[in-house]
Chains A and B, each alone.
Chain A
Amino acid sequence: GDSVTQMEGPVTLSEEAFLTINCTYTATGYPSLFWYVQYPGEGLQLLLKATKADDKGSNKGFEATYRKETTSFHLEKGSVQVSDSAVYFCALSDQNTNAGKSTFGDGTTLTVKP
């Protein structure tokens, strides 16, 4: 079945540092890939998505590129802020299999210190 593996956390960075959170996936079809962000005490918010190979999703300074050859969708940001402290989830969704359910990684907790 489908699966998503994320870099284990927690990750602690200083403000303005470069961020990478690794995500790899296994899927039988041609999934769409997502990053969600969860701030403390809140639900998940869609951060960015990519629907096919070589697509780049971007939002709020975050980027991720859909790499089919390495089955990866790593999240990057050039300069993190304290307000980026949150839990980040990588996910995939394949409309043609699995009844349209999404598969989520376990989440990576990011803490940014001033």
Chain B
Amino acid sequence: DVKVTQSSRYLVKRTGEKVFLECVQDMDHENMFWYRQDPGLGLRLIYFSYDVKMKEKGDIPEGYSVSREKKERFSLILESASTNQTSMYLCASRITDTQYFGPGTRLTVL
């Protein structure tokens, strides 16, 4: 079974803090993705990566950056967290045509 893990299920941070969300997959997948999910807005793609050290902006990259130093790990970074970044963050990895998701991190920024 494909396993995608995320470092935290719940996270509470303060405005202006630097926040790291970690995602690890165990299946040697090349493609990895970060989404945020908000009520009424569905899934929105923040960034994706198709190889180590490679990254592409998604639909809403502003306020975020990513890091992929190793194939199995894809990190999402909020450089200076703001209250409008309170959301559910979902990581996924992809093999052939199928994406597999982690359990999600619910981030609250106070």
- Where the two chains meet, the residues of A that have a C-beta atom closer than 8 Å to any C-beta of B are 32, 34, 36, 41-46, 49, 51, 89, 91, 93, 95, 99-102, 104-107
B58 CB contacts on chain A under 8 angstroms: 101
Beta-carbon contacts under 8 Å, B53-110 to A: 56, 58, 90, 92, 94, 96-104, 106
With A and B bound together, what is the CA distance between A41 and B106 in angstroms? 8
Q: Which residues of B contact A36 (CB under 8 A)?
A: 101
Which residues of A are found within 8 Å of B45, using beta-carbon distances? 101
**Pair A43/B98 contact, Cβ less than 8 Å:** no
Chosen A-B contacts, 10 in total, with CB atoms closer than 8 Å, are A32-B98, A36-B101, A43-B90, A43-B101, A46-B99, A49-B98, A93-B98, A100-B94, A101-B33, A107-B42
Q: How many A-B residue pairs have CB under 8 A?
A: 51
* B56 engages A99 (CB within 8 Å): yes
Q: A45-B101, A99-B50, A100-B31 are in contact. Are A89 and B43 (CB under 8 A)?
A: yes
B34 contacts the other chain (CB 8 A)? no
B97 proximity list for chain A (CB < 8 A): 32, 49, 51, 93, 95, 100
In the complex, A58→B8 CA distance in Å?
32
B82 vs chain A, min Cβ distance (A): 24
Instruction: Verify A95–B96 contact, CB threshold 8 A.
Output: yes
What residues of chain A lie closer than 8 Å to B96, measured between beta carbons? 95
In the complex, the answer to whether A43 meets B103 with C-beta atoms within 8 Å is yes
Provide the residues of chain A in CB contact with B99, threshold 8 Å.
46, 91, 93, 102
